[in-house]
Structure formats: C-alpha cells, structure tokens
Amino acid sequence: MTLRVLCVFLLSGWLSVSAAALPIPENGPALRIQGSNTIGAELGPALVEGLLQEQGLLKIHRETPDTANEQRIVGQTAQGQRVIIEVAAHGSSTGFTALKNASADLAASSREIKDSELLALQALGDLKSPAAEQVIAIDGLAIILNPANPLQQLDTEQLARIFAGEVKTWEELGSRGGAIHLYARDDQSGTYDTFKELVLSRRGKSLSSAAKRFESSEQLSDAVSADPQGIGFIGLPYVRQAKAVAIADGASQAMLPLNSLIATEDYPLSRRLFFYLPPDSRNPWAQALATFAQSPQGQGIVATSGFVSQTVQAMSVAPNALMPEGYQSLSRHAQRLTVNFRFAEGSASLDNKARQDLARVLDYIKRNGKTERAVTLVGFGDLKDDPARADLLSKLRAMAVRRELVKNGVVMREVRGFGALMPVATNSADEGRIKNRRVEVWVY
C-alpha cells in the first residue's frame, strides 16, 4: 500500500490533517517503536525525524524521558498540534514482546525474527511476509580492542574461544597485555544474539560469566577503548575511539568491517537490521515509516547514521593472485555492484531483501544505461563432494537472477559460475554455506 493510499484512510480515533498527510491521533503517540538499541539509539529516531519532515511538520525535536534508552520524537502541525512518536530501545527481543502485548506498533530488530517469536505472534499475521519483514540497513559487528593493542586480525574460531573464556591472555594470541578483559552486550540485545549465533553457538560455546555486560552500545565501546586489556563486539557505528580488527571465517581472507564488504554481506560478521510491522496493523504511521526507510531519502539517513545503506553503487575490485584468472580479468575490465543475492540450500527463490535488492539493481541498470549487454552475473557455491556439482549449482543460481533481470528488459552480457572458489565464510555451518552461495552483479 502506498503512502498516498494510506493517507486517505480515516481510522477511528484519528484526525486527518489534510488529504496528503498522515492522520494524527487525538490522544497519545502516533507511533510506538520498541526493540533494538542498535537501531533505537540513533538510526530509528533519525528516520522518524525524516518522516516528520516529509509530512511537513514543524519544530521537530527529541525529548528524553526519565527512563534510559527511551526517546520521544516530537513535531508540530501548522495548527499547533503536537505529534509524538515514542522509541524504546531495550533490545531486539523486547520489540517482539511489545508487539505481542500491544504496547508497540512496530518492532526494531538487529536480528531476524526467531521461529518461537513467529509462533507467538501468528495472531498478528505472517511476520515473514514481504510487507511485514523490512530490511532497513546492513550493519557489521566490529570486534574492537584498545587502540594500543598491536593485534591486527582474528578468526571466528579464536573469537569463540576468547569470549568463552578458554583463551585467557593476549600472549596466547601472539599479542601482549596479560589477562584478556571481555565486554559484551546484554541478553536482550540483538547485537548479542547475532554474536552468539555467528560465533559462539556455531562452535558449541557460551559467553564467559566474566564478561562485563552493557545495555548501551556507546558505553561498551568507551569501556573497551579505555581498557588496554579489553576486547568487545559492537555495531559498526559504535566503534568510536576503539580499534577494529580484521576477521576471517574458515578459508576466507581476513576482512576489516569496511562498508563495501558489509554492503555485500561478505564480511563474516555482517548482519541485517529490520523493521517488523504486523500485516494486520491499522496504524498508518508504521507502514509510512517502513516505506520512508526504503526510499532514497531514508537510505541516505542510514548512511549518515553510520550504517551501510542498501543504495546500489559500482565499486572497483583490485585483482590479486588468490582470484581465479577469469575473475581477475573481470576485475580489470568491469565494476562490481554493492549487492549480493544469496540462496538457501536447494533453493533459487529470492528472500525479502533480495526482492528489494532486485528492484534497486534494475533501477541502477536502467538509470546508467546498462540494459544492453553490459551486465555479467557471477555465481558461487559452497563446497560439495563433487566439484562439478558446485560449479553447476553456482551457475544455476546466477541463471535464476538472470531470469528476473531478463523479464525486466535487461540483455545480459554473460553468466558465469565459479563453484566453491573464493569462499567468504566457513563451509562447516549452515550460515557460512548460505553466505558462500551467492551471485555477484558486475557492470561494464
């Protein structure tokens, strides 16, 4: 449903400001957002401010109530009526709890909704449907150290052992400093859930009870940057004065949390940030905010807030000796777009983010005059017992993306498959295999 269509609805208890504006409630907030601190600390409020500006509201400002990690974003109509949107940022899981008890209209989450949460919220509709599950930004978990620590890189196996308390000193990692001090987000945090899933649980480990826990991302980062023996994990915008190290996963190269590697989700600790809005919601502000977040203006706010936007751009890739010769040649003559399409085992179906990305890629191709034999698709797969099968599957997934582009008037230059070469993650876990099953888009 478009914003203009939404605006013509007059819901019980709402006043319409004008034919082109969203309705204003007579009492209480226009929208209640709960969930992720990663989103709610700055990105969510900034997107809300952008929506209020788009709606023509005046005197937009933030108010901070007495409760920590909560904000009210307030605007005013030309007639002087206050419009209030509440943002509570106590962790991703609290957003889904708030949807269940009807104390929020929209959940902000720095992780995908869990099966148990889907089941608990099924009365609200399918929260995995394209309209309900909205990827608003890409983030990378940065592993941060004190700037004086000389260590430059770690792999995910080492990370798991460090945060489980099995590696106890920096000397065991070839660094210096004595005992390792652990810093982590709290149990309500989507940042913690993501780290637990990508690093700890994959290796059957749990976070050490010695770790100092934080609800606030900023406080955690500042604590690590002040502690010469500290190590922590944090969302990309919150590195602040700390030092981020490069991370490797399995046979992948070590990667720093750079915007280009996070945008393509190749960086081992990249993750998606979500809005979840119940399909049966009667609050037009929730849909309007999700729509605004996906717009060019909204994605611009994502970028200025320190996260990685989903705006498609072309980037040059320097060839190196670890690349197959055919890929090196491609790197010399073409540019790679900042988006990857990924697939589950045995599937060539696009997920909700991939559908959004397809529209963005098509828009880029058409705006830049690349519809006639200027696009090459490159498929990769996870390691199989039969290398020929990996080669075939990598090309079949590229062909699945090709079909969607061809249906929209794009004449392809070439489709290639590189099998299990150039992994970006370990093949020993489902999450890693999914990352390796990818299709890149290159343009000439």
**How far is the first Cα of the chain from the last one, in angstroms, to the nearest whole number?**
36
Mean pLDDT of 176-191: 94
Q: What is the pLDDT of residue 19?
A: 33
Mean pLDDT of 83-89: 97
Q: Which conformational region is residue 102 in: left (phi greater than 0), alpha (psi within -120 to 50 degrees), or beta?
A: left
pLDDT digits (tens, 9 = 90+) for 156-176: 999 999 999 999 999 999 999
Please determine, looking at this structure, whether the domain spanning 312-443 carries the CATH number 1.10.260.40. Answer: no
Q: Are 371 and 411 in contact (CB under 8 A)?
A: yes
What is the identity of the amino acid at 360? R
The CATH number assigned to the domain with range 139-263 reads 3.40.190.10
Distance CA 353, CA 310 (A): 10
The CATH H-level (homologous superfamily) assignment of domain 3-132+277-304 is Periplasmic binding protein-like II (3.40.190.10)
pLDDT digits (tens, 9 = 90+) for 224-249: 999 999 999 999 899 999 999 999 99
CATH topology match: 3-132+277-304 vs 139-263 = yes
pLDDT digits (tens, 9 = 90+) for 376-392: 999 998 877 677 877 88
pLDDT digits (tens, 9 = 90+) for 19-72: 348 999 988 999 999 999 999 999 999 999 999 999 999 999 999 988 999 999
How far does Cα 353 stand from its chain's mean position? 10
What is the identity of the amino acid at 50? G
pLDDT at 4 over 60: no
Report domain extents, the chain. Answer: 3-132+277-304, 139-263, 312-443
